[in-house]
Chains A and B, each alone.
Chain A
Amino acid sequence: MEFNLTEEQRMIKNVIRDFAEGEVESGADERDKTGEFPLEVFKKMAKLDLMGLPFPEEYGGAGADTISFAIVVEELSRVCASTGITYSAHISLGGAPINMFGTHEQKQKYLTPLARGEYLGAFGLTEPQAGSDAGGTRTIAVRDGDEWVLNGSKCYITNASYAKALALTAVTDKSKGTSGITAFIVPTDAKGFSVVADYEKMGLHASNTTQLFLEDVRVPHENILGVEGNGFKQFLAVLDGGRIGIGAMAVGIAQGAYEKALAYAKERVQFGQTLSKFQAIQFKLADMAMNIELARNMVYKAAWLKDQGRKFTKEAAMAKLFASEMCMRVCDQAIQIHGGNGYMREYKVERFFRDAKLLEIGEGTSEVLRMVISREIGCR
């Protein structure tokens, strides 16, 4: 057993915390109001070579481990969850599938510029008729000589307005069910491809959430990612890694909200004493601290298993499920501790609360994750 971060992980944590507090935090409230995308932040992160963090050096990455990835996502989310999800999706949904299933040529062409931060990574799975039930994908791809012709649409796709290309799933053989789904790498400037970003969201306002429309989009056969018919299996594997990112986001948001609540409780005086002297408030803060610590340990464990090359499906599901649910409770209680002030934008915890809700929905809803865990522990 070893509970210390390595020297590198510790340094990465220091750098990203300084960076988050120095370069990300100050604009977070304004971006929440205007919905402006944190493009400048990502240009600066690219300069620090953080945009390819876990990918091989050969493809412009830095070869860091998954724990370091979780640390970066946590620290960004602690000050700005929109920045956190953008980064998490870039790495774990955008870059990871190409890194895991791409050919050498595909990696050179798509992973290297992504890792250098020349564009943001995205992943197109969800459709209006296919959410939790991703097997219900309707987007179809029909072979025409050396090309495939794609038609259909995707919804709620993170980062696509800033992506030069993305992996998405389409049905290539309807008769085979989930084994008839294939992943394609599609350049976003392809003829017939459009990206629309006009959702009005509850939170994560500065994150880019889009609809994709494909009308007779042609891609060469070589743009198939991985194996024809394996698209479904591949994205399940991608989501396992993505859940570590969402878990880390939850830990970061909760940590940020908790720190604000603790500071407020020590300042605010009622009945002649600070809130932090009331046992009812102390217990709320104690529960927050406990839940955050437990969730962080589980996120690290899932990341560690992944780094060891071991199976981590169950642990990633547990980490994401526990972390996202505790994050909602922590943000709720952070507002409670702030009283009326907590309901106001000025005190920021309401932003954390709105941003946190997505974590119980994206990359597997809480219900779906309980199904995953049930399956992993042998229920049938």
Chain B
Amino acid sequence: MNIIVCLKQTFDTEEKIVLESGKISEDGVEFIINPYDEYAVEEAIKLRDEHGGEITVVTVGPERAESALRTALAMGADKAVIVDDQGLELDEYSVAKILAAVIKEREYDIILGGNMAVDNGSGQVGPRLAEELGIPQVTTITKLDIDGGKATIERDVEGDMEVIEVSLPVLVTAQQGLNEPRYPSLPGIMKAKKKPMERLTVDDLNIDGDVSAKTSVTETFLPPKKEAGRVLNGDIQDQVKELVALLRNEAKVI
């Protein structure tokens, strides 16, 4: 079975976000594999170990993202492809286009990705990629079984569970609960360096249409500091009235 995993390198979830002249500063920041993508890598390794085949991990990002691919290789993936974004402004539309151009040249039975990236949190790249490739997609999956050309999938639908049967090839996105990602083993780490890493730029790809972003960021700001809460006192009746008045006049949410 040919398995492709799309992953993104993101800030470590414990990092504090620091803004410097309107941009998020990357100074001294630790980067990790986006946690949802890590579930995808783990699931891919399990599938490969059960059904045989090969796992290719793909990312679009700056040069530093190569270390996320190395980590996936150390966990057990077989080869990696990085498309250097060369500092271009890319959005979900662009990344899906680029990934599609990389993947359509290859053979695949299943594509796995994360449900969303913890940085931008849009959850769009997976579904967009499936559309670009013209294959079915199942998002937020929590269980995956493959038998012949068919996958039986459980997906999380806002706390409920839906069971879906779908034929391959298919693109799935991983939700928390799918599995428990392994730590890379020491021999895995030592071998990762010798596994193939293909380095591409956007110009190397045969992209259908234009990749420039369809959205733009107009402002980046931190959420306002949390103020101490207010406790209303008195009669329940009065409290309710006061609350409604505050929501309308002060918080302006109704």
Contact = CB atoms under 8 A, between A and B. Distances in A.
B195 to A, nearest CB: 12
Chain B interface bracket (under 10, 10 to 19, 20 to 34, 35 or more): 10 to 19
Contacts of B70: 7, 11
A66 to B, nearest CB: 14
Interface string A1-42: 000000110111011001100000000000000000000000
Contacts of A49: 185-187
In the complex, which of the residues A8, A50, A53, A63 has the most CB atoms of chain B within 10 Å of its own CB atom?
A: A8
A279 to B, nearest CB: 24
Contacts of B74: 11
A11 B77 CA distance: 15
Contacts of B185: 47-49
B45 to A, nearest CB: 15
A15 B190 contact: no
Nearest to A72: B186
Contacts of A64: 186, 190
Contact of B192 (A11, A50, A53, A62): A11
Contact of B189 (A11, A19, A47): A11
B34 interface: no
B201 interface: no
Interface string B180-210: 0001111101101100000000000000000
In the complex, which of the residues A7, A19, A57 has the most CB atoms of chain B within 10 Å of its own CB atom?
A: A7
B87 to A, nearest CB: 23
A7 B67 contact: yes
A63 B189 contact: no
Contacts of B67: 7, 10-11
Interface in A48-62: 48-50, 53, 57, 62
B140 interface: no
Interface in B28-77: 67, 70-71, 74
Given A7-B70, A11-B70, A11-B74, A19 B183 contact: yes
A14 B71 CA distance: 10
In the complex, which of the residues B67, B187, B189 has the most CB atoms of chain A within 10 Å of its own CB atom?
A: B189
Contacts of B190: 8, 62-64
Interface string A55-84: 001000011100000000000000000000
A48 B184 CA distance: 7
Contact of A7 (B183, B186, B187, B193): B193
A63 B190 CA distance: 8
Interface in A233-280: none
In the complex, which of the residues B70, B74, B190 has the most CB atoms of chain A within 10 Å of its own CB atom?
A: B190
B189 A8 contact: yes
A95 to B, nearest CB: 14
A8 B183 contact: no
In the complex, which of the residues A11, A47, A64 has the most CB atoms of chain B within 10 Å of its own CB atom?
A: A11
Contacts of B184: 11, 15, 48
A134 to B, nearest CB: 33
In the complex, which of the residues B67, B70, B183, B185 has the most CB atoms of chain A within 10 Å of its own CB atom?
A: B183
A49 B185 CA distance: 6
B187 A11 contact: no
Contacts of A50: 186
A204 B190 CA distance: 32
A154 B185 CA distance: 36
In the complex, which of the residues B74, B184, B186, B189 has the most CB atoms of chain A within 10 Å of its own CB atom?
A: B186
A263 to B, nearest CB: 13
A62 B183 contact: no
A373 B193 CA distance: 39
B183 A12 contact: no
Contacts of B193: 7-8
A63 B189 CA distance: 11
Interface in B66-102: 67, 70-71, 74
Given A11-B67, A11-B189, A64-B190, 9 more contacts: A7-B70, A7-B193, A8-B190, A8-B193, A11-B71, A12-B186, A12-B189, A15-B183, A49-B186
Interface of B: 67, 70-71, 74, 183-187, 189-190, 192-193
Ranked 4 nearest A-B pairs via Cβ: A62-B186, A49-B186, A48-B185, A11-B189
27 contacts: A7-B70, A7-B192, A7-B193, A8-B190, A8-B192, A8-B193, A11-B71, A11-B184, A11-B189, A11-B192, A12-B186, A12-B189, A14-B71, A15-B183, A18-B183, A48-B183, A48-B184, A48-B185, A48-B186, A49-B185, A49-B186, A57-B187, A62-B187, A62-B190, A63-B190, A64-B186, A64-B190
